[in-house]
Amino acid sequence: MQIEFYKYQGTGNDFVLIDNRTNIISANNSKIIKHLCHRKFGIGSDGLMLLENAEGYDFRMRYFNSDGGEASMCGNGGRCIVAFAYHLGIINKKARFIAVDGEHEALVKDEGHFVQVSLKMIDVSGIEKEDHHYYMNTGSPHFIEFIESHENFDTFSRGKAIRYNDRFAKEGTNVNFVSFNNDGIQVSTYERGVENETYSCGTGVVASAISSGLKKSKNYFKILTKGGCLEVKFEIINSQNITNIWLIGPATRVFSGVTSI
């Protein structure tokens, strides 16, 4: 069987997207999803998303890690699937969709060669704070550690050690490292499911910005990642409750094609 696919990236976090409104691919077929994401034998991506019908919403987002397993929320993936829906003509300048972590809103600004998407994330509560780290769920679980500098810092080794420590080995966690700069913060991320450092992680950037905001009493950050720049704004109710969270940045269609499965 042949299926049409699209490749998108958001600050280097790349995804295979499939319009699955007619159920052309089974979400239970992890073997096919893993194959499509494989960088040597498939299309190659950090993850795969299915755009599906959802009553009362513009669409449903289903996200799968490159290991083939259905995953928790992906912020950059959310921005890319909104851009995908825009290019398909499903939405215009606004979107309201459902994902594994609940309802999301989005705003689209067409910049020509890319689409800027502002994605509203779920509210965050139950934040764990220690001297040198924070832990929270921004749609996906994130451990955030502050470091002096990213220069010569080994995100992969340090991130893997935390992700597979006694506390997180079974369920896993994403691990983010944050350093401050003149414009805002720099963030690097080790992602579970991908089991590697990625160029960017949307939910990780959100968790990092919130942690930095609690440290610095700020509600807006420009964030530099390996794959480019993002923005995050939010409202701090108190040290345990954050609301009105928006992740803002570009989403770019890389190419499209047809593949056999």
Q: Residue 113: its pLDDT value, please? A: 84
- The pLDDT assigned to 261 comes to 83
CA 82 – CA 118 distance, rounded (Å): 9
HEC letters along 60-104 = EEEEEECCCCECCCCHHHHHHHHHHHHHHCCCCCEEEEEECCEEE
CA 160-50-233 angle, to 5 degrees, is 60
pTM: 0.96
Q: Identify residue 82 by its one-letter amino acid code.
A: V
Residue 74 a catalytic site member = yes
Instruction: Give 10-residue mean pLDDT values along the chain (261 residues).
Output: 96 97 93 95 96 98 95 96 98 97 97 93 96 94 97 98 97 97 96 95 97 97 98 97 98 96 83
CA distances in angstroms from 170 to 78, 156, 194, 233, listed in the order given: 26, 19, 15, 32
DSSP assignment letter at 123: P
Q: How far apart are CA 256 and CA 128, in angstroms?
A: 42
In the chain the domains, ranked by start, together with CATH numbers, are 2-121+250-260 (3.10.310.10), 124-244 (3.10.310.10)
At residue 258, what is the residue type? V
The pair of structure tokens assigned to 64 is: 């799968």
